[in-house]
Amino acid sequence: MDSGTRAPGALLVLSGPSGVGKSTLCRRLLRSLDGLRFSISYTTRSPRRGERDGTDYHFVSEESFRRLLKKGEFLEWARVDGRYYGTPRSGVEAGLRRGMDVLLDIDTQGAEQVRRRAKDPVLIFVLPPSSAALLDRHRRRGTDPGVRDRRLALARREVLKSLRYDYLVFNDDLEHALEELKAIVLAERCRTRRQAPRAKRVLRRFRRHPGPVPKMRRG
């Protein structure tokens, strides 16, 4: 890209029910594309096995979360299954200003807030191939039956909101779902409104040096 013509970054919002594979898709997508950064959310829930503070989430107490909320530090926040989650506003805005695409992994409550508060967010919903497939994934995870039932009930409510999103990706095959996500990001990067700064510079050069007009030839 030409110096001084960096396009504004896209704010990409990924939602989907627990167990649909969002975290795996996010990790793979971040490894696959340059210029894409992940917004690390704050949460009051405890870390799951393998999760690291500052990498997967910022794990904080409820008191700390409420303090940040009162200061207006969150672009969006929600209470899910008794725990709080929130997206830090400053990190998202800084990344977009630098021309980075910023990826959020948030629930439908948060996505609705982002749609109201942010400029031109791109909302993507990841769907399982069926409710039975989602149940099977929770069983293979060994999710506690009580927790599993709550998450499946929440999944039903979330899936009903999926048609409000800009894009739908079905995760019945991980590699195929990943390719579809990459295609969405690349398409969004090519939107005219995002490429306008670079396009205007190119157009100025054409106006200064239009070059000879080719003669039309008849075949």
At 122, which CATH number? 3.40.50.300
Q: Name the band, by pLDDT with cuts 50, 70 and 90, for residue 4.
A: very low
The average pLDDT across 198-210 equals 81
Q: What percent of the chain has pLDDT over 70?
A: 92
CA distance 11 to 93: 9
* 45-49, 137-141, 184-188: which is most confident: 184-188
Residue 150 lies in a domain: yes
User: Residue 5 above 60 pLDDT?
Assistant: no
Residue 32 lies in a domain: yes
154 or 209: which leads in pLDDT: 154
How many structural domains comprise the chain? 1
Quickly list H helices, the chain: 22-32, 62-70, 89-97, 108-117, 131-141, 145-159, 174-189, 192-208
Q: pTM for this structure?
A: 0.84
pLDDT at 201: 85
The CA distances from residue 182 to 16, 31, 65, 110, 114, in Å, are: 17, 11, 33, 22, 21
Residue at 156: amino acid letter = R
User: Residue 219 above 80 pLDDT?
Assistant: no
Note down the domain range covering 136: 11-39+100-206
